[in-house]
């Protein structure tokens, strides 16, 4: 083929059109940073701050932007504000972004020391199961995030940080298990994980199980681990997990309170869900290997586990149940005297 | 030499804390809260904005409804922490606010109006409070 024949006629470049120019629902917006910087919540001015009770749009249209005709709808099922909302979401997003930590280099791994084998085994078992808790949290959040409308972008963004926090918890716990002469233990039976992952009635139902029921227990579990940490590496991990988890619970409790106060009948629905969840959580407490493992950690060995260790663990569970009842009451679901007997037994110890 | 606990002592600690960003680790984050420190029968209001402690002054326990949370411990526990900070440059692992809270039967923090959301701020922010207390290593302190 000659050089001349090989030449093709170039397509003309389309002239840019500027018809879109000036299409804005609100222009001349100039949010200025304050002493805290420019935070997500600060942007909620004018129409951009109008969080709807119901988000009509089924596209990915950012809240406040101009709607484009002809965009096919997507299957967002969480379109009511009371399905997802917590007033603190934007603030928690900022807090989470600022308070990241790096297990690879922030944890003083050099402080790990060889522990008696039975204690190392117990710690590794707890790391194994708690990392599964964190993994199930990522899974359930990812599932529901997909269903959340963009009218509530603060919540979607905040939950992205929670997934990342949980990934970091999985990482840190796995590193702890694999860095001191032990290894991962036996996988969890997954009783509570299944309860959470199979909660299909909506995000609020999942939040009730994930944070109010299991999350409150996990909070006490991490407190217990921190309290019995053997070195600065463990102390650092648990201290930072506790701070992250406190943020997660703050969203969870705040959302449940919002749902109960803004949706008719939600308190009754929640009471029914919790009655079921309490029974399953009690089964988790009975069957999980975290129970004997924590007793060994608290009792500083198998012998001590049989007495002091188990007493300490049961005290931890009692504190969890007491807290759970108090938080339910705060949310607006009266639990005093209405607790599933399987959990009530821990209060009666 | 300022006496612990007193407004003068806390003001010096606050100044040390505010002027040195290396003390603002606190998990790496800003802290926005108005809270209280209860030291036996003494009461101090404390306000954080971002990475600064903007105010701390002695007050009374009758004026606490607007506070997010109150950290309440007997004076001897506070003093043990401050003495430990003076000796070691920062609180030892078992004498941080976090550790003391975790090993106490009841939480050392409470919400004056039983607001769970505001009480939870203690768990999100207690490292900032610890950094502030650790700044007292730089303040010559008298306990009498």
pLDDT tens digits, B50-65 = 889 999 999 998 888 8
Tokens found for residue A160: 């992205």
In this model, does residue A1 exceed pLDDT 60? no
Q: Are B58 and B86 in contact (CB under 8 A)?
A: no
Question: In this predicted structure, what is the pLDDT of residue B90?
Answer: 92
Q: Are B108 and B73 in contact (CB under 8 A)?
A: yes
Tell me the three state secondary structure of residue A311: helix
* Å between B57 CA and nearest CA of chain A: 22
Q: Are B132 and B51 in contact (CB under 8 A)?
A: no
| Greater pLDDT, A112 or B114 | A112
| Greater pLDDT, B1 or B103 | B1
In this model, does residue A213 exceed pLDDT 70? yes
B106 in contact with chain A, both atoms CB, cutoff 8 A: no
Mean pLDDT value of segment A95-108: 94
Which is nearest to B109 in space by CA: B74, B72, B75? B72
- Count interface pairs A-B at CB distance under 8 A: 58
In this model, does residue A6 exceed pLDDT 60? no
Question: In this predicted structure, what is the pLDDT of residue B98?
Answer: 87
Residues whose CB falls within 8 Å of the CB of residue B23, separated by 6 or more in sequence, listed in order: B16, B17, B131, B132, B134, B135
In this model, does residue A36 exceed pLDDT 90? no
Average pLDDT, chain A: 94
Helix H or strand E encompassing A327? helix A310-331
Question: In this predicted structure, what is the pLDDT of residue A21?
Answer: 77
In this model, does residue B28 exceed pLDDT 70? no
- Residue A183, domain member (yes or no): yes
Tokens found for residue A65: 């932007």
A234 in contact with chain B, both atoms CB, cutoff 8 A: no
Mean pLDDT value of segment A299-305: 97
Q: Do B102 and A227 touch (CB under 8 A)?
A: yes
Q: Do A95 and B103 touch (CB under 8 A)?
A: no
Mutate to test the interface with A, among B21, B29, B31 (most CBs of A within 10 A): B29
Chain B: residue whose CA lies nearest to A255:
B117
> What is the CATH classification number for the domain harbouring A211?
1.10.620.20
Please say whether the dihedral angle defined by the alpha carbons of residues A282, A283, A289 and A295, taken in this order, is positive or negative: positive
- Distance, in Å, from the CA atom of A7 to the CA atom of A10, rounded to the nearest integer, reads 9
Mean pLDDT value of segment A310-320: 96
pTM, rounded to two decimals: 0.90
In this model, does residue B26 exceed pLDDT 70? no
Residues whose CB falls within 8 Å of the CB of residue A243, separated by 6 or more in sequence, listed in order: A99, B27, B123, B124, B127
Cis peptide upstream of residue B5 (ω within 30 degrees of 0): yes
- Residue A237, domain member (yes or no): yes
Q: Could you tell me what percentage of chain A is helix, strand and coil, using 3-state DSSP and rounding each to the nearest 5?
A: 65, 0, 35
For A145-186, the pLDDT digits (tens) are 999 999 999 999 999 999 999 999 999 999 999 999 999 999
The domain of A343 spans 85-347
ipTM over 0.85: no
Residue A96: half-sphere exposure toward Cβ, Cα within 13 Å: 29
Domain B7-138 maps to which CATH number in 3.40.50.2030, 2.60.40.1120, 3.30.1050.10, 3.30.360.10? 3.30.1050.10
In this model, does residue B103 exceed pLDDT 90? no
Low-confidence winner among A32-41, A45-54, A198-207, B27-36 (lowest mean pLDDT): B27-36
Alpha helices in A146-202 (DSSP H): 153-177, 191-197
- Distance, in Å, from the CA atom of A60 to the CA atom of A85, rounded to the nearest integer, reads 18
- Residue A51, domain member (yes or no): no
For A281-291, the pLDDT digits (tens) are 999 999 999 99
- CB nearest A35 (choices: B27, B49, B123): B49
- Residue A32, domain member (yes or no): no
pLDDT band at A326 (very low <50, low <70, confident <90, very high): very high
Residue B12: half-sphere exposure toward Cβ, Cα within 13 Å: 15
Question: In this predicted structure, what is the pLDDT of residue B16?
Answer: 96
How much of chain B, in percent, has pLDDT values that exceed 70?
98
**Residues of A with CB below 8 A from B120's CB?**
246, 249-250, 253
Q: Do B27 and A99 touch (CB under 8 A)?
A: yes
In this model, does residue A8 exceed pLDDT 70? no
Q: Please state the domain count of chain A.
A: 1
Question: In this predicted structure, what is the pLDDT of residue B116?
Answer: 83
For B38-53, the pLDDT digits (tens) are 999 999 999 999 889 9
Query: How many whole angstroms from its chain centre is CA A245?
Result: 7
Which is nearest to A227 in space by CA: A315, A335, A110, A344? A315
Mean pLDDT value of segment A79-107: 95
């Amino acid at each position: 083929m000659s050089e001349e024949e090989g030449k093709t006629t170039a397509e003309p470049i389309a002239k840019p059109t500027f018809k879109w120019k000036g299409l804005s629902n609100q222009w001349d917006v100039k949010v200025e940073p304050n002493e805290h910087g420019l935070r997500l919540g600060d942007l909620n001015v004018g129409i951009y701050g109008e969080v709807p009770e119901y988000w009509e749009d089924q596209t990915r249209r950012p809240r406040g932007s101009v709607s484009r005709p002809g965009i096919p709808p997507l299957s967002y099922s969480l379109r009511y504000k009371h399905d997802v909302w917590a007033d603190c979401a934007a603030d928690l997003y900022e807090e989470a972004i600022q308070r990241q930590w790096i297990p690879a280099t922030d944890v003083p791994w050099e402080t790990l020391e060889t522990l008696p084998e039975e204690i190392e085994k117990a710690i590794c078992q707890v790391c194994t199961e708690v990392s599964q808790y964190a993994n199930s949290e990522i899974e359930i959040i990812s599932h529901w995030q997909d269903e959340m409308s963009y009218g509530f972008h603060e919540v979607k963004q905040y939950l992205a940080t929670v997934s990342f926090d949980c990934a970091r918890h999985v990482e840190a716990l796995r590193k702890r298990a694999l860095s001191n002469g032990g290894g991962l233990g036996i996988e969890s039976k997954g009783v509570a994980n299944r309860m959470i992952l199979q909660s299909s009635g909506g995000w609020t139902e999942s939040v009730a199980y994930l944070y109010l029921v299991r999350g409150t227990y996990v909070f006490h579990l991490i407190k217990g681990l921190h309290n019995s940490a053997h070195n600065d590496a463990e102390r650092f991990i648990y201290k930072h997990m506790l701070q992250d988890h406190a943020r997660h619970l703050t969203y969870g409790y705040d959302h449940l309170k919002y749902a109960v106060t803004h949706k008719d009948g939600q308190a009754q629905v929640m009471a029914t869900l919790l009655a079921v969840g309490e029974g399953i959580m009690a089964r988790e407490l009975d069957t999980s290997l975290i129970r004997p493992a924590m007793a060994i950690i608290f009792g500083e060995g198998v012998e001590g586990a049989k007495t002091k260790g188990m007493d300490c663990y049961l005290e931890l569970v009692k504190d969890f149940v007491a807290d759970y009842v108090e938080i339910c009451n705060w949310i607006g679901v009266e639990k005093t005297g209405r607790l599933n007997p399987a959990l009530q037994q821990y209060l009666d110890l | 030499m300022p006496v612990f606990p007193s407004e003068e002592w806390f003001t010096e600690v606050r100044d040390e804390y505010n002027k040195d960003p290396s003390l603002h680790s606190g998990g790496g984050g800003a802290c926005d809260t108005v809270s209280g420190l209860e030291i036996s029968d003494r009461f101090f209001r404390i306000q954080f904005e971002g990475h600064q402690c903007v105010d701390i002054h002695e007050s009374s326990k009758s004026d606490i409804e607007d506070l997010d949370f109150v950290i309440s411990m007997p004076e001897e526990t506070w003093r043990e922490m401050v003495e430990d900070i003076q000796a070691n440059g920062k609180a030892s692992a078992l004498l941080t606010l976090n550790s003391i809270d975790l090993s106490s039967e009841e939480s050392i923090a409470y919400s004056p109006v039983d607001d769970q959301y505001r009480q939870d701020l203690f768990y999100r922010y207690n490292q900032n409070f610890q950094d502030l207390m650790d700044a007292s290593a730089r303040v010559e302190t008298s306990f009498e």
